[in-house]
Amino acid sequence: MCAEEVGFVEKYDLLGCIQCGRCTGGCPVAMRTPLNVRCFMYNTQNEDRLEELSEQPEIWDCTTCFACAARCPKGLEPLEVLIGLRSLQIEEGRIQPTVRDALESIFKDGNPWSSPRAKRMDWAEELDVNILEPEAEETTDVLLFVCCTDAYDPRVMKVVQSLIKVLDAAGVDYGLIGDDESCCGSEVRRMGEEGLFEMCDEENVELFNSYNVNRIVTISPHCYNTFKKEYHGLNYPILHYTELVAELLEDGKLELDKELNNVVTYHDPCFLGKQNDIYDEPRYILTRIPGIEFREFDRCRERSLCCEGGGGKMWVETESTEERLAEKRVEDAKEIGAEIITVACPFCLLTLEDATKVKGIDEEMRVIDILELLAEAL
């Protein structure tokens, strides 16, 4: 391995680290795995040790939730060092088969779920949706980017189907990419596959810019974050669906007639909250639903506990047998008396719903996306 090529010290400003330990102190997965990100900030300064450090399994425990970066007094991003170490493993080809299969599937079929491209629009089989034409003369207001997990996962499909119902009810002028839609690459970058991420960036930017739209709306905060902060040369503004729906409610375009008498809480996804400061819109939407009693988690907004679904963790199993953070989260929800945990992210939906099953409380507590609750209130 050649230190000049990698340049960890410069790339991650490692000499700026004062070893205060706030990163590890705030790291949610440090509660259940051996990961100590402060040690990696120190040890990776010795570039002769990079190969050895990249072989330590705990580098794959990081969910890239951003708590370490949000708390760093020097403005460093310790999680990026772990992603850098993962990159070394990727270039050697030495990765878990599940990670390999997800990445190969993105290269081959544009999604990490080993599903064929031809099935990408199966979720919309019974719906009347508008597929955008590139270079169209007429402008469509919203390009709706669906996300691989919403498109293929039978549970998460219900979220995008609910969004279509909401957009139709509000009379939004929107269109979809259809079968040609490909993975945003957020998880690709976080699993350390820099080259493949660059491909996602280039190909998606070219595709998106070929459409005549006013703005792009995403369902997943992971797509949102990547389009907004990591893509190069996008012509259109990026919105998360919570921003669009809040706007529709505010403008009186979306009316919620049905009363839902439920105690509801909201789990802030890391990629929407901590990483993009979108805290108010989801709460604005939920509190507009008639009959809802809204209760906050103790750990909410920027202190929200990570569900462990990000950073490629959907494809990496952590060896720890300690209680999962998602299990802690649903216990917390039970304590505040919530009947429904709402989320705004496909990964949070899957991890938290799974946790209610592990805890045996799935009969009494539902985990649903805000959009599903909205669709019920229409």
Partner 1 sequence: MNVVVCVKRVPDTAESEVHIDASEKDIDKSRLSFGINECDNYAVEEAIQIKERLEGNVTIISLGGKDSDEVIRMALAKGGDEAMRLEDDAFVGGDALAVAKALAAAVKDLEYDIIFTGALTDDDGFAAAGVALAELIGVPHATYVKDVEILEDGKKAKVGRELEGGLMEYLEIDLPCMLGIQTGINEPRYASFKGIKQAAKKEIALKNASDLGLDASDVGEAGSWAVLEKFTPPVVGEMAEIFEGEPEETAAKLADVMKEKGLV
Nearer to partner 1, 100 or 334 (CB): 100
CB of 154 to partner 1, least distance (A): 5
Q: What are phi and psi of 176, to 5 degrees?
A: -115, 165
- 51 is a site residue for partner 1 (CB under 8 A): no
CB of 320 to partner 1, least distance (A): 23
- 103 is a site residue for partner 1 (CB under 8 A): yes
Nearer to partner 1, 194 or 230 (CB): 194
CB of 110 to partner 1, least distance (A): 9
Nearer to partner 1, 102 or 373 (CB): 102
- 194 is a site residue for partner 1 (CB under 8 A): yes
Nearer to partner 1, 90 or 216 (CB): 90
Nearer to partner 1, 196 or 264 (CB): 196
Stretch that binds partner 1, among 104-112, 125-133, 168-176, 306-314 (CB under 8 A): 104-112
- Which of 36, 115, 161, 212: binder of partner 1 (CB under 8 A)? 115
- 180 is a site residue for partner 1 (CB under 8 A): no
CB of 207 to partner 1, least distance (A): 18
Nearer to partner 1, 95 or 142 (CB): 95
- 159 is a site residue for partner 1 (CB under 8 A): no
Instruction: Show the binding pattern over residues 116-155: x = contacts partner 1 (CB under 8 A), - = does not.
Output: xxxx----------------------------------x-
Q: SS3 for the chain, per residue?
A: CCHHHHCHHHHCCHHHCCCCCHHHHHCHHHHCCCCCHHHHHHHCCCHHHHHHHHCCHHHHCCCCCCHHHHHCCCCCCHHHHHHHHHHHHHHHCCCCHHHHHHHHHHHHHCCCCCCCHHHCCHHHCCCCCCECCCCCCCCEEEEEECCHHHHHCCCCHHHHHHHHHHHHHCCCCEEECHHHCCCCCHHHHHCCCHHHHHHHHHHHHHHHHCCCEEEEEECCHHHHHHHHHCCCCCCCCEEEHHHHHHHHHHCCCCCCCCCCCCEEEECCCCCCCCCCCCCHHHHHHHHHCCCCEECCCCCCHHHCCCCCCCCCHHHCCCCCCCCCHHHHHHHHHHHCCCCEEEECCHHHHHHHHHHHHHCCCCCCCEEEEHHHHHHHHC
- Which of 195, 237, 291, 337: binder of partner 1 (CB under 8 A)? 195
Nearer to partner 1, 23 or 99 (CB): 99
**327's tokens:** 């299990």
CB of 294 to partner 1, least distance (A): 29
Cα 246 from Cα 240, distance rounded (Å): 10
Burial environment of residue 299 by CB neighbours within 10 A (0 to 12, 13 to 18, 19 or more): middle
- Which of 11, 49, 74, 108: binder of partner 1 (CB under 8 A)? 108
Site size with partner 1, rule: CB under 8 A: 27
Question: Are the C-beta atoms of residues 25 and 41 closer than 8 Å to each other?
Answer: no
173: how many CB neighbours lie within 10 A of its CB? Answer: 13
- 114 is a site residue for partner 1 (CB under 8 A): yes
Interaction residues for partner 1, span 79-98 (CB under 8 A): 90-95, 97
**74's tokens:** 């020097």
CB of 199 to partner 1, least distance (A): 6
Nearer to partner 1, 122 or 141 (CB): 122
CB of 132 to partner 1, least distance (A): 20
- Which of 52, 55, 104, 280: binder of partner 1 (CB under 8 A)? 104
CB of 49 to partner 1, least distance (A): 22
Which spans of this chain sit near partner 1 (rule: CB under 8 A)? 90-95, 97, 99-100, 103-104, 107-109, 114-119, 154, 193-196, 198-199
